[in-house]
Amino acid sequence: MLIRYISYIALVFSANALSSEMNCKVIAISDGDTFTCLTDAKKSIKVRLAEIDTPEKAQPYGQKSKSALANFIFKKIVTVSSQGNDRYNRTIGAVYLDGLYVNREMVKIGAAWVYRQYNRDKSLLKDEEWARAARLGIWSQPETQIVPPWEWRKAGKALQQAVQDSKSSLAATASSSCGAKRYCTQMSSCEEAKFHLKSCGLNSLDRDGDGVPCENLCAR
């Protein structure tokens, strides 16, 4: 009987802990899914947004995801519905700002993935599909840079270096394309001349300022 009673008390305590709510003021943003807030009792709490995962700091879109979360909640009073603590002793929680479900909003604007391993709200997957279809945030990047953060962490330095090499290659291609040619006599087509005018800012190709570069090519 005593054992049953103790088990019952433990179950009730656990359920209450998991469903507890607190209000706190956000005082720091670590990344797109983690922040620190201060309770009315001046206790500092580190919170990890439940059911979503955002790019790591060094990962493409990592800083933008962090900024997106800051735009939502930094220096504001939020309500955190706790789902317990993780192994780093962070509070895992659903975060609300004036009734707005911040976890969901991060997914809807393309600043976060749904964290498949820990997701319990299947409706979030529809929000992710919508953001992907609209090419918002993360989904607006080149395909080679769209890597779920759990894969990024698992793959480690090899994948991170491959993505950085991809970014460097894209930048080098754009740079070389814009720096290689400067005069109409070097252009092989009107399309190439338009590219150098609009994408490279080579205004000398449009001497009369009518928006048409290298008229000897584009007037044909």
Catalytic residues: 48, 56, 90
Cα separation of 59 and 51, whole Å?
19
| Residue 92, beta-bridge partner list | 48
Q: Which residues of 38-54 are buried (b: 16+ CB within 10 A; e: fewer)?
A: eeeeeeebbbbbbbbbb
For the chain, what is the radius of gyration of the CA atoms?
25
Q: Which residues of 11-27 are buried (b: 16+ CB within 10 A; e: fewer)?
A: eeeeeeeeeeebebebe
